[in-house]
Amino acid sequence: MIALIAVIVFISTMLLSGAALYQLLLRKTVLMERLERLFPEHKLRKKKLVESGTWAYKLSKIGERVKLPEREHSKYAKYLVAAGFRRESVQVFLGAKILLAALLPVLYLFLVAARQNGISNESLLAMAACAISGYLAPSYWLQMKKRARQRLIFHTLPDILDLMTVCVEAGLSMDAALIRTTETPQFDKDPLAKEIRIVSMETRAGKPRVESLRDMAERTMVDDVRSFTSMLAQTEKFGTSLSQAMRTFSDSLRTKRRQIAEEAAAKTTIKMIFPLILFVFPALLVVILGPAMIQVSRIFK
């Protein structure tokens, strides 16, 4: 009975606190309402990004209530684009952070704290830890997705450069080589090929190729793509051989990839020490010294 009363008091306090915070922080000002009435098409475009009734739509509605500084909002948008998502999905991402931060403490309260006699200080600390973990978990997941996509782009870049080099040496222009590279079935679902398709569409629309490639480097946030863009810009500026420059850059990328693999292989020796000490050596000691200890114990009986 005491646990039920504590749960009811906690939920009532959370609801009252949420209502007070909504009235103080998330309420739209008169100026914001007037601006939304002046630009209704922007609001309609945002609503069309996700279908109504889905989880993404619900999370986006929650995320729209979060007012972050422009710097934080831009950082999350860049990370989402680098991970392969649309820039407008930042509202869904923020909604997931808020939902997990509120859901995990409630789950802990019902599953663990409700079985105890009241809510102790340890339970409050655990609920605070659950809230912090729920808020940080989407950011950790986003970092993992971004790094995995960047790693895949880094490993695919030399192969795409080789194909582009063959196309350029066969007489195709740079724009035609970019289009021909993305049409290869090998790179059909590759993230770098998708970015190159965007570059090709922007170039067809009249945007300068170097500027489109720089935007691609900013979207992917991969240093080697930035180097590739700078190499193409310098090649067009000074009139050097494009195929030779791409072949040299591709060889340097393969050398870098091999060095990274050798470095990872050299680290395995140190990483194997801890599993050996914790799991292998105790088992060996039991197997080797176990019979000897039994014999010694029999002698002293």
How much is the pLDDT for 45? Answer: 47
How much is the pLDDT for 43? Answer: 46
Residue limits of CATH 1.20.81 in the chain: 150-267
Which residue type occupies 169?
Answer: E
CA distance 249 to 240: 14
Tokens of 60: 């986006």
Banded pLDDT at 281 (limits 50, 70, 90) = confident
CA distance 291 to 77: 63
Contacts of 133 (CB under 8 A, 6+ apart): 104
pLDDT surpassing 50 at residue 65: yes
pLDDT tens digits along 101-111: 888 888 887 77
**Which residue intervals of 112-241 are DSSP H helices?**
121-169, 174-182, 191-204, 209-220, 223-238
How much is the pLDDT for 46? Answer: 46
Once rounded to an integer, what is the mean pLDDT over residues 219-238?
A: 88
Topology (CATH) of 150-267 = Receptor-associated Protein (1.20.81)
Once rounded to an integer, what is the mean pLDDT over residues 289-301?
A: 81
Which of these, 39, 40, 135, 151, lies nearest to 93 by C-alpha position? Answer: 135
Banded pLDDT at 172 (limits 50, 70, 90) = confident
pLDDT surpassing 70 at residue 210: yes
How much is the pLDDT for 37? Answer: 59
184: Cα separation from own chain's centroid: 27
Which residue type occupies 241?
Answer: S
Sign, Cα dihedral of 88, 92, 95, 101: negative
Packing angle between helix 174-182 and helix 191-204, nearest 10 degrees?
140
How much is the pLDDT for 143? Answer: 93
CA distance 227 to 242: 14
Once rounded to an integer, what is the mean pLDDT over residues 195-199?
A: 90
Tokens of 85: 């998502």
Tell me the pLDDT of the chain averaged across its residues. Answer: 80
How much is the pLDDT for 149? Answer: 93
- What percent of the chain clears pLDDT 90, i.e. is strictly above it? 10
- What percent of the chain clears pLDDT 70, i.e. is strictly above it? 78
pLDDT surpassing 70 at residue 226: yes
Cβ contact 260:155 at 8 Å: no
How much is the pLDDT for 150? Answer: 93
pLDDT tens digits along 124-156: 788 888 889 888 999 999 999 999 999 999 999
pLDDT tens digits along 6-61: 556 566 666 666 555 555 444 455 555 555 555 444 444 444 455 555 767 777 77
Sign, Cα dihedral of 195, 199, 204, 205: positive
Once rounded to an integer, what is the mean pLDDT over residues 250-258?
A: 90
How much is the pLDDT for 53? Answer: 55
